Amino acid sequence: MTRPTSVKSAGSGVEKAAQVYSALRRTRPKGKQDLRNYVKVFLGIDIPDQKVCPEHNSPMDYLWHSFSAEFAAAKATNADAIVWANRSGGKTELAAIATLLDCIFKPNCQVRILSGSGEQAGRMYEYLLGFLNNGFEGFLAGPARKRKCGFANGSAIEVLTQSPMSVRGQHIHKLRCDEVELFDEDVFAAAKFTTQSTAGLVAAMEIISTMYRPYGLMQKIVSSANQFGTPVFKWCLWEVIEKCRDRSCSQCRLWGDCQGKAKRVDGYFKIDDCITQMRRASRAGWEAEMLCKRPSLENVVFDEFDPDVHVKPIDYDSNLPVYRALDFGFVNPFVCLWIQVAEDGTVRVIDEYVRSRATIDVHAEEVKSRTPGGEERVAATFCDPAGGSVNDVTGTSVVRELRSLGIAVRYRRSGILEGIELIRRAIKAGDGKSRLIISPRCQRLIEALRCYHYPDRPGGNSELPLKDGVYDHPIDALRYFFVNYKYSGKTTSRRY
């Protein structure tokens, strides 16, 4: 008679354990460690939570930021985030986890997935479906469909296509943009207007990608993050690699980059796979896509430009004359660079002025007011030769207008490649020396020197850099200086 009772008690214990387990699955994690434990227990994923490189974050830092926006003591007003991480760094899977957590713990949360390709978007959704089919089926309002699913609490997920039409008209809480580096810029521009907060739910646009082009969309986004106050969560191979336990560092191919880092972490990326991928890749590709260092410079015009070498705090030297270099524009920016040349021939760019949609008189006033030492210290103002052309409507030219406003301009006609070669020599001459220093104040010029590039697609004159309306204008102004300064006795100065 005791045996059935024993079986019944055992069965009852299993049922109670199952009930507790089910209740815990529906219990919202209260802190970062609770969240990590929840994902480990119910999804079987142990998310790395240790940053190795000083300027990096851990993958868990991103997930906690994404999840906690609605639950922090001081509720966030915006939960935007940028995730810059290495290839195979778990970005897409983490974003799928964040999406699942949003939908089960934030009632009525509307989430959309937008990726640089249909295949990439499908990968995040496949991760999500795998999670749902592993014990989370009871949260759904009905069967999950090919590109969307709904939850019993009113939350929903949908995969968007990479087109402006798909994005426009969306009013949602969370938008996860995966592999932004592959996005069409028009689609990305439209996506910026899709998220809205509602009662209890904080709007968030999450931008997730590697960065393998120094002139690509991800580079622009990361560069402007501080300006908009958007947090950047960055990690590389060393935050996700498995723990190194029994290898000889002196004989390991990773030692040059690792320097013992892999002995201090406990991630998931297999060391043997890392070694194999490093063998397959170029050094530039390895550094950009796995170490999240400076992106590959394969298509960049000034690949020798290095901010660590060429950007230094410099100020106006009253013992040296001042030169100005102008590139004209209205919709595209008007650019002025202030330059001095040291006795040893080093070109010192001490300031910049970049502005769009202003008239020449406005630019002239700004250029004069910002010139250190006043106009009497200006040895020459060099400009775009196109500024000498007479406008059929106004009957005048930019050169003539500037001269009437007190700025004498000079120019020499030259080819683009001639100016580019002179800039290259200043960046790094044949003797290995640099003769170019740029003030940190010149952020637009610095960015242009890093990102000015050749066209990605074949066709046209592949020897000429791309005129993209962004990076070419500061470079053009710098070109005009070098061409005119070299031939200073042959520049043109006209009176009207």
Helix (H, G, I), strand (E, B) or coil at 246: coil
Could you tell me the CA-to-CA distances from 167 to 154, 160, 173, 206 in Å, in that order? 21, 7, 13, 15
- Is residue 494 pLDDT above 70, yes or no? no
pTM of this structure: 0.72
271 part of a folded domain: no
Domain end call among 238, 253, 286? 238
Examine the domain organization and report whether 444 and 361 are in the same domain: yes
Examine the domain organization and report whether 199 and 311 are in the same domain: no
Beta bridge mates, 107: none
pLDDT for res 393: 56
- Identify the domain containing residue 132 by its residue range: 14-238
pLDDT for res 340: 97
DSSP letter string, 88-151: TSSHHHHHHHHHHHHHHHSTT-EEEEEESSHHHHHHHHHHHHHHHTTT-GGGBSS---SSEEEB
pLDDT in tens, 12-32: 778 888 889 899 999 999 999
**In the chain, what percentage of residues exceed pLDDT 90?**
68
Q: What are phi and psi of 404, to 5 degrees?
A: -70, -20
254 part of a folded domain: no
pLDDT in tens, 93-116: 999 999 999 999 999 999 999 988
Reported confidence tier of residue 485, pLDDT bands at 50, 70, 90: very high
Q: For residues 145-168, give the mean pLDDT.
A: 92
**In the chain, what percentage of residues exceed pLDDT 70?**
92
CATH number for the domain that contains residue 27: 3.40.50.300
Domain end call among 220, 238, 256? 238
pLDDT in tens, 367-401: 999 999 999 999 999 999 988 887 755 668 899 99
Q: What is the DSSP letter of 333?
A: P
Residue of higher predicted confidence among 303 and 441:
441
pLDDT in tens, 252-279: 999 999 999 999 998 999 999 999 999 9
Q: For residues 268-296, give the mean pLDDT.
A: 88
350 part of a folded domain: yes
